[in-house]
Each structure stands twice: as C-alpha cells, then as structure tokens.
Amino acid sequence: MALFVGLAGISLLGVILWDAFETIVLPRRVTRRFRLTGAFYRYTGTPWLWMARRIRSGKRREGFLSVFGPLSVLALFGVWAGGLILGFSMVQWAAGSLLGEPWTVQSFRAQLYLSGASFFTLGLGDVTPHTPFARLVTVAEAGMGFAFLAVVISYLPVLYGAFSRREANISLLDARAGSPPNAAELLRRHTRQQNLDALADYLRAWEIWAAELMESHLSYPVLCYFRSQHNNQSWVSALAAILDACALLEAHTEGALRWQAELTFAICRHALVDLAQAIEIPPRAVPYDRFDPATLAEMREVLGACGAPLCKARAAQDTLDRLRQMYEPYLFGFSERLLMPLPSWSTSRASVDNWRTSAWEKVSAPAESLSGLQVEDDDHL
C-alpha cells in the first residue's frame, strides 16, 4: 500500500510539474492528446458556457463570460499548488517519515499539514521532520514553493501584456470598420477618399497582428477566453472582418492590393486553424450564410470607382466561395465554443460606432469628421 501511494505521489508531482512547464515556459503548441490544463479547461469551461447560454440579457451574459478567463488562470494555479502539496504529502507518508514529538510516523493529515506549511514556507515549527529523507523532501518542497510564487508573479504580466497588444488593433478597428466590425464597412471607409494605399498599409498591420496573435495565443491558449472591453467587439469578430475583406479583395481585385490581401489572408487563416487545434475546436458546418449578394455588387462598384482593377465577376465569385470555405467553418466553431457572435459582411445602417457613444449620453454624438473619417448626413448611424 505504501509503495503504491508513494509511486502515485511521484507520478502526480511529475504530471503537474510537466504540465506547468508546458503551459508557462514551453513557447510552442503542445500536440499531446491528454494534458492536465486541457482537461481543466474542458471540464470547467463547458459548464460555465452552459450557464452563460441561459442568461437572456446580452450585457449580463457578456459580463459573466468575461470573468471566466482571468478566474480560470487563478483556479489553475490553485489546482497546481494543491496537486503539488498532495503529491509531496503522499511521498512523505509512503516513506514513513518521522515527524514531531515523539518521533513517530504521523497520520496522513499531519503529513498533508507539513506539506502545505513547507510549500507556502510558513515555518511554524509545530510539526517538524526528523529523518534525513523527510528533511530533504521538506527542503525541496520549500524551494518549489518559492519557484511557484516566482512563476505566478512573472506569468501574469506576460499574459496581460499579450492581451493588451491584441486589443489595441481591435480598438482601432472600431473607427475603421464599425461596431461590430465588418468587411463592407472597412472597404467603404477606406475607399471613400480613394485611399487604397492606406487600405494596403492597414492590411499589412493586420498581417503582423495575426502573426503576434498566433505566437502569443499558442503559447498561452487561455488568452482565447479573455474578452474585449466592449460587448460588441471580440478578437474572433475582428479576425472574421479582416478575413472577409481579404477574401473579397483577393477574389475581385488585381495588383498590389490583391497581393497584400493574399498575404494577410494567409497568416490570418493560419492563426485561426492553429488556434482551433490548440484548444480543440473542430470546424463546424456553416449554419447560415453570412454573405449578402447585394453587398458584393456594392463593393465591386465601390472598388471600381476608386480605381482598383477588378477581375471578371463570375470567376471572382468562384474564388470567393473557395476562400470562404477555408476559414468560415473554423470561425463558426470558435463562435459556438466561446459565444462570440460573428459579424455579417455588411452591417445595418442603424448601428453606431463605439467612439460615438458614452455611458452618460444615451444617443450617439453628431455625425462629423474626426481624424479624416467623414460621415455624411448620418449615413452610417
């Protein structure tokens, strides 16, 4: 019995330490089928999302969902700490370590108490180890407690730094593509002043953003559960809007703008698929069509008016359908798992950008030019 408990304790320590190493230190995607962290998020995220789906108010549901990401990080730290304490106490008990006065083997409860005091370096001294092996294990556990605290302190700033960098471009998308963002509005606002060069530069910035998203979120998949500041924004909807715009430009235009759209589409789709594999979200059959044929006709007219060379409409439509099949099933998978709605290709003219609203003003700010963004007679309000 003691041998079995000891081996189980050593195995538990190994599993937790390796899982913490893969989650925090290892800078690459882990492809192993079973992981403690993966199981933790699978068995905690599912009931959390189940409860969220039963909240009718969209604002309250979003607030409830926003808690899960940060709370899960703290809960995961607690699981690791509890597992390490339990593992060390099992090893001590199995070895028959002598504790306290008189020098006898204490109960498992006493071993668990000593393990917790050693891990958190309390140093109370009411229960002390007396055998060489017990002292060795106690010192090792105390050192691991210090290391665990250091990892927690260093992990959180890195996590929130990556989250902040992700959200910066999403916030900038508000004035450029609407709230929620969509491909048609992105193209309308950039082509209004014949500004195709600015559109190409903006897609290049999103190419870099997608590469950073893939690197940071594969290293720290928990960031996928962190939600944006505004209820009508998310990293999934932002990625969908950019993919839609790139697919449309790649299918219907030619020249330098199309080349940049192809590059941005490639890295965005790469990030989307790799993240789906990392957090085990399979592609989902498309439940409804986000695409509006009337929007396509409008966009071809807009692009043609600003001087963009256009492809033949029939061949372009086949290309667009093929491109959409490459990413939309993954977008719908993320949308269903994370409860992040996907934008349509074109928004309602009644929608209001976030920058035009405030908590104190119940109506939007009057339409006016702001930093080069011109809105004519409430055209987009």
- 26 Cα distance to chain centroid: 17
The pLDDT assigned to 31 comes to 63
Classified as helix, coil or strand, 310 is: strand
HSE-up of residue 331 (Cα within 13 Å, Cβ side): 28
**Token code pair at residue 376:** 């004519």
Classified as helix, coil or strand, 273 is: helix
What number of helices (H) and strands (E) belong to the chain? Answer: 11, 2
Tell me if 65 sits within 8 A of 45, measured CB to CB.
no
User: Could you give the CA distance from residue 338 to residue 342 in angstroms, rounded to a whole number?
Assistant: 11
The DSSP code for 255 is S
Domain with CATH 1.10.287.70 in the chain: 2-154
pTM above 0.85, yes or no: no
Tell me if 145 sits within 8 A of 121, measured CB to CB.
yes
pLDDT digits (tens, 9 = 90+) for 112-170: 888 888 888 887 777 777 778 888 888 888 898 888 888 888 888 999 999 999 999 89
The pLDDT assigned to 347 comes to 67
CATH of the domain spanning 2-154, picked from 3.40.50.720, 1.10.287.70, 3.40.50.2300, 3.40.50.1970:
1.10.287.70
Pairing outcome for strands 98-99 and 104-105: antiparallel
pLDDT digits (tens, 9 = 90+) for 42-93: 899 889 999 999 998 888 999 999 999 999 999 999 999 999 999 998 888 8
The pLDDT assigned to 365 comes to 46
Highest-confidence segment of 2-6, 117-121, 214-218: 214-218
List, as one string, the DSSP characters of 106-165: PPHHHHHHHHHHHHTT----SS-B-SHHHHHHHHHHHHHHHHHHHHHHHHHHHHHHHHHH
